[in-house]
Every structure is written in structure tokens, then in C-alpha cells.
Amino acid sequence: MNDPITLNGITLVAAPVRRQEEILTPQALDFLAQLHKAFDGRRAELMQTRQLNRARIANGSDPKFRPETKSIRDDESWKVAPIAPGLEDRRVEITGPTDRKMAINALNSGAKVWLADLEDSSTPTWSNVINGQLNLRAVLDRTIDFTSPEGKEYKLAGEKLTDLPTIVVRPRGWHLPEKNLLVAGKPVSGALVDFGLHFFHNAQRLISQGRGPYFYLPKIENHLEARLWNDVFVLAQDLIGIPQGTIRATVLIETITAAFEMEEILYELREHASGLNAGRWDYIFSIIKNFRSRGPRFVLPDRGMVTMTAPFMRSYTEQLVRACHRRGAMAIGGMAAFIPNRKDQAINAMAFEKVRADKTREANDGFDGSWVAHPDLVPVAREVFDAVLGQNPNQRERTREDVTPDDKELLNIAGTEGKITEGGIRNNIEVGIRYMEAWLRGNGAVAIHNLMEDAATAEISRSQIWQWIQQAAITDTGEL
């Protein structure tokens, strides 16, 4: 047991990690303490609001478009901030954790953006928290490298930062505490730790190299949570002395309640907003979590059968594109989670066709880009978006006014085709157990059956089993 260390009002209770003093400088801790004192009370209130909203849904109240924010939706005059340097073209984004090998592979992949993930694909061990920050800084200083046990060396391509995919960092969501950093005995928000340390150490580095401090914001459930992030950005920029509006944020619409407030979320962040992303896996999990006790209407089939063509998913993505492009923001499509097997070209060929079809649908729907989980999928997605975009960096001019906002269609869960099968039950159990085992070892991104599983897909696996049991769901063979 290590004795706690208190510096500038923050107490560190974790066992020391090598080189942590380079990240946890007195100035950085003072910056975190100021963010915590300014915003943790509001954050706690918003977390209580989440619980109240979930209780209302559980008691039979369906979410709807909010009447009190109708004026924001109806006002056609407002737009989000201009596109920031390096975010003009986002046709292919690669996601992954910030360990050295994965970071280098992502940055050498040919994608336009690297989502440097401190959230769902990263277990928040103290070692991962610190080393993720060290690695992000090392990328900007071009000192990052990696040598495998077999002796293979990994180094960054290019000569400067603008030769690489634009870095967009995803911190943890508002709900997660960082148990190893305390202020007056209370944990600091994991979101503020991840955002604050990266921003404090790297904002000026990024600006001086032709980029900026850009973020993906996960797990937002309503526009008030987006407002909190915007206020954090305003204070953070003031504290380190960079111009207001330098930060850019892309919000993941991955909760069912956020889908009813997409324009309001953009409005709250409008001086810093870059776009919205269709976070499909967490979105499905959010529906199961919120409606798990609401009866057969909300019971979904096997996870593999819940495709983007299901009515509720189709409504969600089309309304997302419309919301973004009306306001000058980017619409980014969902994850292609397939992990190629270079030893089995037959499996790859079938999977590549599914990925190509998925990305073609997104590009034709008006999305400006999409996510992949593996470097080998970058050329597949890029080919699709190249065919639609041509020489244009995006397609924000497609405002999708043919799409009518429809809050009822967002909840058309019963229209999803598919079955509950023994194979689906077994797959959920396997993914849940295998992912948890890997997560406890510190690995938050796990390849299982040629798919990249992270916390979102593991949550679906776990929660579906619970819901099927509680709702006495029947399999395709008539079994409970």
C-alpha cells in the first residue's frame, strides 16, 4: 500500500507508474483541480438527472422531441463553427487504443483521422491512463516507437504531424470517476482527467504543428451534458491562454435519449462543434438498458441480426445526417468492426463485401465519413467514399431535407426483423466472458471471431441475456 500524495489540492492514491511525474506535473494537477472545482457539482447533478430520466422511461414514458427546445430546432439561422484545420476531410477514421503499437499502426494506416481512444477500447487502469497520455505526447514529439518481442520495429511515417491522420481524442464519459485522483476525498471525473491532461500538455503542441485540440465526446444523454462540456472548453481555453473556439468536438450519438436532442446538442456546442457520429453499438445497448423492463415491444433479436437497415436504426442515422448538414456539421458513420484474417482470404472476401455494402449505404445517405477498426479496412472504406465524394472533402451540402424528423420512428424497435437463436445466446455468453477476462488484464479492445469487441459490444452481450431472461423471450426453436 502506497501512502497518498497530495499536490495542489489533488491526492494521488494509486501505486506509482513509471514516468507519471512527466504527466502529473504541479501545473497540470492545478489545472485539473480548477476544472474539478468549477464543474463537478454540475456533473453530479446531471448524473442524478440521468437516473430520473431512466426511471421515467422504465415507468412507461417514451422519449420525445422536447417542446421547450423547439425554437432551437426551428431556427434555421444558426450554424456550428467553421471547419478546423485537419478536419475538412474525414472520409475514413480509424479507431483504437493509445498503446504504442496500435497508435503507430493507426497513424500509418492512410486514414484521414485517428480516434485516439481513452474510453471503450481502453481499460482505465492507472497504468493505461498515464501511458496513454505519455504516448499521445510522444506522437506529437515524434519520439514514439515500438519493438515487438519478435524484433519487428514500428515507427511513424511521414515527416510532420500534418502528414498523419488528424488526432481526435476520446476521453471517458461523464459517468466514470477516476478513483486514483481525489479532491477533498471525492474522485475526479474520468472525463476531466482524460480531457484535461491531454489538453494541458498538448494543445499548444497541436496548434504549433497545424492542428488543434480535437475531441470525441462519448455517452452524452442530453443537451445539458453538452452544455457542460462547452463550459469546460471555455474555461480550459482561458486557463492556458488560447483563443476561444480553438477546441473542436464531435459528439457520439450513442444513447437513445441523445437521438431526440441532436440539434440541441450541436447548438450547445456550436462554437466548438465539429459534427456528430452514429455510435451504433452503444446506441443499441442504450435501448436495451433503458427499455429492458418494458415488455416484448423492446426485445431485440440476436445482436448480429440488428443491422443498420432496421427501421429504428435507419431513422436514427438519416435524422443524424439531416441534423448535422442543416447546421454545417460533419456526419460520421458507424464502426466496421471486422478484423481481417490474413490467413483466410475466403472469410476476408465475404467480410469485405459486407463492409463495402455498409459504407456504400452510409456514403449514399450523406455521411461525410465512417469508422473502421483495422488498417486493412481503410482502403475498402476509402474506395467507397472516394466514389461518392470525388474531389470534394465532404458532402455537407446534402442537407437531407427529404428526411422528416420523427420521434416515433426512433422507437420503432418492434419493426426489427430477426430471431433469438441458440447460436446468438452462446455468442453473447462467450463474448461477455472473454471480453471481461481480457478487460481485467488491462486490454479493452479484443478480437473475437474476427470482430473487434469493446466495452459497448460486451455490454450488449451481457444486457441482451438479462433482458431475454427477464422477458421470458422465446428462441426460434420455441425454447425459453
The answer to whether residue 205 is catalytic is no
Residues 248, 302 contacting (CB under 8 angstroms): no
DSSP code of residue 117: E
Alpha carbon distance 366, 317 (integer Å): 10
DSSP single-letter state for residue 250: E
DSSP bridge pairs for 90: none
∠ CA 469-457-355, nearest 5°, is 125
> What's at 470, amino acid-wise?
Q
Q: Which of 91, 292, 454, 462 is catalytic?
A: 454
Joined together, the cell numbers standing for residue 444 give 479493452
Interhelix angle for 345-365 vs 378-389, to 10°?
30
Considering only CA atoms, give the Rg of the chain. Answer: 22
Tell me how far apart the alpha carbons of residues 198 and 133 are, in angstroms, rounded to a whole number. Answer: 6
In degrees and rounded to multiples of 5, residue 328 shows phi and psi of 80, 15
Question: Alpha-carbon torsion 222, 226, 229, 231, what sign?
Answer: negative
Does 170 qualify as catalytic in the annotation? Answer: yes
As to burial, measured by CB atoms within 10 angstroms (0-12 exposed, 13-18 middle, 19+ buried), residue 367 is buried
Q: Which residue has the cell 444513447?
A: 255
Burial 51-88 (b: 16+ CB within 10 A, else e): eebeeebeeeeebeeeeebeebbeeeeeebbebbebbe
Q: Which of 170, 292, 327, 382 is catalytic?
A: 170
Q: How far is CA 234 from the centre of its chain?
A: 22
**Look-up: residue for cell 511521414?**
158
- State the catalytic residues: 170, 454
